Structure 1
Amino acid sequence: MCGIIGRVGRDEAIDSLLTGLENLEYRGYDSAGIAVQNGAGINVEKQSGKVSSLTDSIDRNDLAGRLGIGHTRWSTHGPPTDENAHPHTDSTRDVAVVHNGIIENYAEIRSRLQRAGYEFTSQTDTEVVPHLIQRNLDRGVEAETAFRRAIDELEGSYAIAAICDGEDELYAARQGSPLVVGIEGDGYFLASDVPAFLEYTDTVVYLEDGDFVTLRSNGVRITDRDGNPVRRDRHTVDWDAEEAGKGEFDHYMLKEITEQPTSLAQSIEGRYDPHTGSVTLDDLETFEGISRVLLVACGTSYHAAQYGTIALRRSGVAADAILANEFSLAAPPIDEETLVIAVTQSGETADTLTAVRQAADRGAKTLSVTNVVGSSAARETDQQLFIRAGPEIGVAATKTFSSQAVLLTLLSHRIATDTTGSSSLPIGQLCVELEQLPALVETLIEASDARSIARRYRDQESYFFIGRGFGYPVASEGALKFKEITYEHAEGFASGELKHGPLALVTPETPVFTVFTGEEDETTLANAAEATTRGAPVIAICPDGHDAIQTADAHLAIPDVNPLLSGILATIQLQLVSYHAAALLDREIDKPRNLAKSVTVE
């Protein structure tokens, strides 16, 4: 949600800033802008619309300089207009600021500044920041101190970067919204996320809440709120620029769907033994003493959490999945025997972070299942399980879901073994099939008939997805993918719930995608038949030779494997259906309207 890029170096900043903005488009945005300082003033170019339009409108001669900031904005306060686009400046244009997050007390600050004579030109909460800095500069305070004092007045979540005319430094601070420093040979980058500058450097420093950073072309200084130096470790990102690019594909989403043989292989490597039928997960400490597991997540990660919850219950562990944004109101009693698992692709999802912090305050043990080393979730939880799926740029999560679901299944066996001495999961068979899983996924993708299914059922009134057991979160995830990128109405249901209300909406123009996992398939087939009698076409996601094929109107094949894994294979077919349906409708697949990749505000 929103994206920040900053650059300080010995060469011109404009090209790397624009590249950074392009690389941040996946986060979701509706306007973009940059500001460059060259010792003769700060020049700003910003506008609503795409980064490509901004690039076309820029006169690089007017934006020369070795120090600059840029931003892609996802609207919260004020609509997506040129005036509301970032960067924002003070009245004299001596200060330029970009900001992610929400400043909760901006209205009070704005009123106070207006009474003091400062003029505002936007509807955003961000604009108070450059005016606060300007007020401090007007009082004779040097630039870095002016920035610090401005930040001290803010309440809420933020990642903020600022430049001041005549200063060869970039100032930044974070509280509840991610920022990372990239270290290059002849300068430094600052960004919301690593892909912004990955083609320039893979050496990074992750900032933490309360950190202030000052970047110069010859050095970086990180301090706390009181100005005391703090040390943050350097990390080498194990992604490369090619991984984060589209390559030969038209869209990141399709690339990431087809990367699942690799991402799944990376996720499970070294974490199970097909010869002994055992799960290792050696990096994790014992879960002895845990009596209950709660999984908290949002969106796609919540569906993965539901998948993991079923696996935990099947293994003999009491478990529940809770929407992170409902956690403060819906969580059951929590104590030191509770394990709370934060499932979050980015590790920066605001609602999920809030939930896991609340759980920790109540004494719970915490674990994060995330894709990003150095993320807030990874740093703040007691233990971490990295899904190792590689960079995911498309807003609609695909390969991270399958990796989360597989790892949560393995984790359920480990937790059950640690807490009860045994697990009810058929782990021997599971380990054998895990060894085959990447190859099975590759074959499925190559042979998928999803494109013809999407073409056959385009332009319908609505799309229903149903499943039972592991098929239920898969159906929910299939519907989410479909609505995210096609903008068509889609809903996912537990199969048995179809007759408890949703059946009233079923018509001959309501295709029903039905997931068969090998568990109670006869009942699921009976539920699908209820839709068939109302004239609805049924698309069966099941192995070849399955009884459902005889009565279904269409079929998407999955390998015949244990139900623990069949749902993951069904998910990939539904991802492909969504992708091809959106492509036929000419949707903006990687950047669906109104959505952001990482939701860093509550």
Structure 2
Amino acid sequence: MCGIIACRTIQPAVEYLCTGLRRLEYRGYDSVGVALQTATAEVAHLRTVERIGALDELVRGWSGAPLNGVGIGHTRWATHGLVSEENAHPHADCNRRIFVAHNGIILNADQLRDELTRSGHRIATAVDSEVLSHLIEDALSEHRDLFKAVQTGLTRVQGTWAIAVLERGTGRIVVASNGSPLLVAHSAHGVFAASDIAAIVDWTDEFQVLGDGDVVELVDGGQWVRAEADSVPLISRRCSWQGRDADLNGYSDFMAKEINEQPAAACRVIDDLGTSIDSGELWTDRGLGTFDRLKIIGCGTSMNAGLVIGNVVRRLGRIPVTCTIASEAADDIPETGQLTLAISQSGETADVLQALTSDAIGGAPLVALTNNQHSSLARRADAVLNCDAGPEIGVAATKTFVCQVIAGAALMISGLSATGRIDRSAAARLTDDLRRLPEKLAAALNVAQCRVPPLIEELSDCAGFIFIAKGSGLPYAAEGALKLKELTYRWAEHYPAGELKHGPLALIGAGTPVVVVDNGDTRLRANMAEIAARGGQLLTIGSADSAIDVASDPSAAWGPLEATVPLQVLARTLALSLGHDVDKPRNLAKSVTVQ
């Protein structure tokens, strides 16, 4: 949640900051702000509760001294305090000498606020982040050096943080991280820090990641203090993404773009992994061995992808699988022979990272499935698989879900082949089936774009939706319901079709929309008849007899993946008809870095 960018550049910093903040809006868009040094060493402090376009207007309206190449910026997803200009970052200290942009959560903020108030500080907001500027102000009066003051001030803080601190007068910028992602990069344009490489990829593709407890001054050759004396040497990492990958490129919204990118993204994943799947090398090259049971940990869409992957392992390998929502993992018990698969699109999901510290993992090998191979999750895992979806800006996940399913299924097929659970010829047939998925997704996209829009008018007044499926179709029903509620703000619930008579049938009356994800299970017909008898409005998606026939293969180990596309198109099209922003649904943000 929340996005941070800071820079010291040759050209005016504001151009870099506004571009970077626009790229970071997926992390939060309740408010946005910057603190910019001027040619007279003062600070222009500009904030708004509107989107980045409103900040552009504030900058254009700035009538003070010219802005130079030093500044910090922040886009917010509120966790403490109402959405207001006063609560927007960056936050200042009493004397407006220190400006702080923060991502994370300060657990002892109330205690620190009381202590600071008693010592004479004027705390202007209820935002936990504001205490950081006052702590650094206190420390600066003692040390008279910003770098040392940041180090000292943070010793009193409990919680997580990625911060950028700007000092008025000197124009120094110091950044620090603990449990929240932050990277620094040097280029011909200048020196940058950001929550995500996507914010600065136009100017550099090489970066270094701050470890927990690190403090860095943002200047060429600046001081970098590692939290641990025995920390591994700093590693420069490269990003294969380009700036245009995170642009609309002619699409009306990012969700439309990312839905349309799914066939190509699926093809890229399979091409990258294909030659090593059936041989077992995809598994053994990551140092993985045999396992007797699988535990999958994730949240939201990643958990739905995990359910699909778990079905692959059960169906093909006859291996017990447990799927646990990350925020509930603390009470799980590790089992003998367990392998843990942790799934997170960003690799920074706080609940997933917290679950890794619980007894649920024990000493089991940990595999990370993520779209960010440089993330905190990737660094903590024994083995990493990149789902390689490319940047995804729309908050509601689309192509990352499809790529997680494909990459996860490929890894597990390889593992089952490497450990003798399936033979090499069976793994080769499954790999061939994977290779056909991009073409099937492209066909499903064409069908969805033709069949879904005519249905929207009769659905737009419906207050709630039910999604049902059986067996391998159930995770897709869950994902379809999640997409609909995320984007339309209408109630949407999913159930196993066999559960209808055990309660949910009471919800169905004349006109109630029921979306059926059809994986070819013949028992669905009886459930559909029950719904029709009560006046429910059926919409079937999946195999041959469906209203939206995407020709899904009933025998596929990963279920009706092709049904994902019309489910996404349904949610997006209905949301647009209701006047909603499909890229930035209310109350939600991508990369959930706080619990």
Whether TM exceeds 0.5 here: the answer is: yes
Q: Which residue identity lines up with residue 511 of structure 2 in the other structure?
A: E
Measure the CA separation in 2 of the matches of 1:283 and 1:456: 52
| Partner of residue 104 from structure 1, selected from 104, 107, 132 | 107
Measure the CA separation in 2 of the matches of 1:398 and 1:376: 22
SS at structure 1 position matched to 2:560: helix
2:570 maps to 1:597: no
Is the 8 Å Cα contact of residues 413 and 425 (structure 1) preserved in structure 2?
no
**Partner in structure 1 of residue 266 of structure 2:** 264
**Partner in structure 1 of residue 205 of structure 2:** 202
**Partner in structure 1 of residue 528 of structure 2:** 528
**Partner in structure 2 of residue 422 of structure 1:** 422
SS at structure 1 position matched to 2:218: strand
SS at structure 2 position matched to 1:36: strand
2:199 maps to 1:193: no
**Partner in structure 2 of residue 131 of structure 1:** 134
Query: Aligned residues: percent identity?
Result: 36
Measure how far apart 1:431 and its partner are: 2.1
Structural mapping, 1:451-490, within 5 Å: 451-490=453-492
Measure the CA separation in 2 of the matches of 1:402 and 1:365: 25
- After superposition, give the CA deviation of every residue in 1:268-312 in whole Å (9 maximum; x if it has no partner): 2242359x9655415743543422210100000000111111111
Measure the CA separation in 2 of the matches of 1:226 and 1:258: 45
Structural mapping, 1:187-586, within 5 Å: 187-216=190-219, 218-225=220-227, 231-273=233-275, 278=279, 280-281=281-282, 284-314=285-315, 315-329=317-331, 331-334=332-335, 337-358=337-358, 362-419=362-419, 421-422=421-422, 427-448=427-448, 449-518=451-520, 521-544=521-544, 546=545, 549=546, 554-560=547-553, 562-586=555-579
SS at structure 2 position matched to 1:514: strand
Measure the CA separation in 2 of the matches of 1:392 and 1:125: 29
CA separation of 1:230/1:574 partners in 2, compared to 1, >3 Å: closer, same or farther? same
Q: Which residue identity lines up with residue 166 of structure 1 in the other structure?
A: G
**Partner in structure 1 of residue 178 of structure 2:** 175
CA separation of 1:159/1:270 partners in 2, compared to 1, >3 Å: closer, same or farther? closer
Measure how far apart 1:219 and its partner are: 3.3
Q: Which residue identity lines up with residue 222 of structure 1 in the other structure?
A: W
Is the 8 Å Cα contact of residues 221 and 229 (structure 1) preserved in structure 2?
no
Is the 8 Å Cα contact of residues 465 and 491 (structure 1) preserved in structure 2?
yes
Measure how far apart 1:37 and its partner are: 2.2
Measure how far apart 1:230 and its partner are: 6.8
2:77 maps to 1:74: yes
Q: Which residue identity lines up with residue 572 of structure 2 in the other structure?
A: Y
Q: Which residue identity lines up with residue 115 of structure 1 in the other structure?
A: R
Is the 8 Å Cα contact of residues 316 and 424 (structure 1) preserved in structure 2?
no
Is the 8 Å Cα contact of residues 272 and 280 (structure 1) preserved in structure 2?
no
Is the 8 Å Cα contact of residues 2 and 77 (structure 2) preserved in structure 1?
yes
SS at structure 1 position matched to 2:467: strand
CA separation of 1:5/1:367 partners in 2, compared to 1, >3 Å: closer, same or farther? same
**Partner in structure 1 of residue 27 of structure 2:** 27
SS at structure 2 position matched to 1:326: helix
SS at structure 2 position matched to 1:407: helix
SS at structure 2 position matched to 1:272: helix
- After superposition, give the CA deviation of every residue in 1:187-220 in whole Å (9 maximum; x if it has no partner): 111111111112222222222212111111x334
Measure the CA separation in 1 of the matches of 2:359 and 2:288: 17
SS at structure 1 position matched to 2:133: helix
Q: Which residue identity lines up with residue 551 of structure 2 in the other structure?
A: I
SS at structure 2 position matched to 1:397: coil
Measure how far apart 1:142 and its partner are: 1.3
Is the 8 Å Cα contact of residues 334 and 359 (structure 1) preserved in structure 2?
no
Is the 8 Å Cα contact of residues 92 and 133 (structure 2) preserved in structure 1?
yes
RMSD of aligned Cα (Å): 2.2
Structural mapping, 1:24-103, within 5 Å: 24-38=24-38, 40-58=41-59, 59-62=61-64, 64-103=67-106
SS at structure 2 position matched to 1:173: strand
| Partner of residue 160 from structure 1, selected from 146, 156, 163 | 163
CA separation of 1:112/1:319 partners in 2, compared to 1, >3 Å: closer, same or farther? same
SS at structure 1 position matched to 2:342: strand
Q: Which residue identity lines up with residue 308 of structure 1 in the other structure?
A: I
Q: TM-score, normalised by structure 2?
A: 0.94
Is the 8 Å Cα contact of residues 28 and 594 (structure 1) preserved in structure 2?
no
Q: Which residue identity lines up with residue 596 of structure 1 in the other structure?
A: A
Is the 8 Å Cα contact of residues 410 and 431 (structure 2) preserved in structure 1?
no
SS at structure 1 position matched to 2:413: helix
Q: Which residue identity lines up with residue 71 of structure 2 in the other structure?
A: G
Measure the CA separation in 1 of the matches of 2:512 and 2:498: 17
- After superposition, give the CA deviation of every residue in 1:433-488 in whole Å (9 maximum; x if it has no partner): 22222122112212321222333422112111111112101000000000101111
Is the 8 Å Cα contact of residues 179 and 206 (structure 1) preserved in structure 2?
yes
Measure the CA separation in 1 of the matches of 2:323 and 2:208: 33
| Structure 1 spans left out of the alignment, 5+ residues | none
CA separation of 1:111/1:482 partners in 2, compared to 1, >3 Å: closer, same or farther? same
Is the 8 Å Cα contact of residues 30 and 72 (structure 1) preserved in structure 2?
yes
Aligned residues: 589
Measure how far apart 1:586 and its partner are: 1.6
